[in-house]
Amino acid sequence: MKTNHFRERRGAIIVEFAICAPLFFLVVLALFEFSWLNVVRHTADNAAYEASRVAMVPGATANEAIAEAERIMGVVGTRGATVTVEPATILPETNQVTVRVAVPIDQNALLAPRFVGGRRIETKSTLRTERVETR
């Protein structure tokens, strides 16, 4: 008797699967997309912080900080990231250094780059330098 009941429900199961499966896969792919963008955002935060740590020590240059941020962003394979250091020339009188990292989402999204329309993940880190103040 149970076999006949299954045969009667066989068409309904296929229809239910056809309706629910696309929604399920949409949710799963959205989870992958948001998880990946979260990885990129946290990596950009870390890259800005580590680059500002490189730039805050005496004798450091902006180019060294940019190289460090680009190295860290390269670990996860981001594309098109821009790194800026303010001030561009770090002098002995410089009190603080700010590193900004901007990552375009459309170049780094896995599944839906056309839906983000030129948006970027932007982060910055500002640290005081370790310079001896002369009076």
Query: pLDDT per residue over 8-48, tens digit each?
Result: 666 788 888 999 999 999 999 989 989 999 999 999 999 99
Average pLDDT over every residue of 99-124? 86
The mean pLDDT of the chain is: 87
User: Are β-strands 120-128 and 82-86 bridged in parallel, bridged antiparallel, or unpaired?
Assistant: unpaired
Separation of alpha carbons 100 and 44, rounded Å:
9
* Tens digits of residue pLDDT in 42-95: 999 999 999 999 999 888 899 999 999 999 999 999 999 999 999 988 888 888
**Interatomic CA distance for residues 47 and 60, integer angstroms:** 16
Q: Kindly list the structural domains of the chain, giving each domain's residue range(s) and its CATH number in brackets, ordered by start.
A: 2-128 (3.30.1300)
The answer, yes or no, to whether residue 116 has pLDDT greater than 90, is no
Q: What is the DSSP letter of 51?
A: H
3-state secondary structure of 127: strand
Note whether 43 and 76 are within 8 A (CB): yes
Residue with structure tokens 């002098």?
A: 91
| Residues in the chain, total | 135
Q: Which residues pair with 86 in a beta bridge?
A: 98
pLDDT exceeds 50 at position 97: yes
pLDDT at 129 over 70: yes
Q: Predicted confidence band at 1 (pLDDT cuts at 50, 70, 90)?
A: very low
State whether the Cα torsion 109-105-98-84 is positive or negative.
positive
Q: How far apart are CA 135 and CA 126, in angstroms?
A: 24
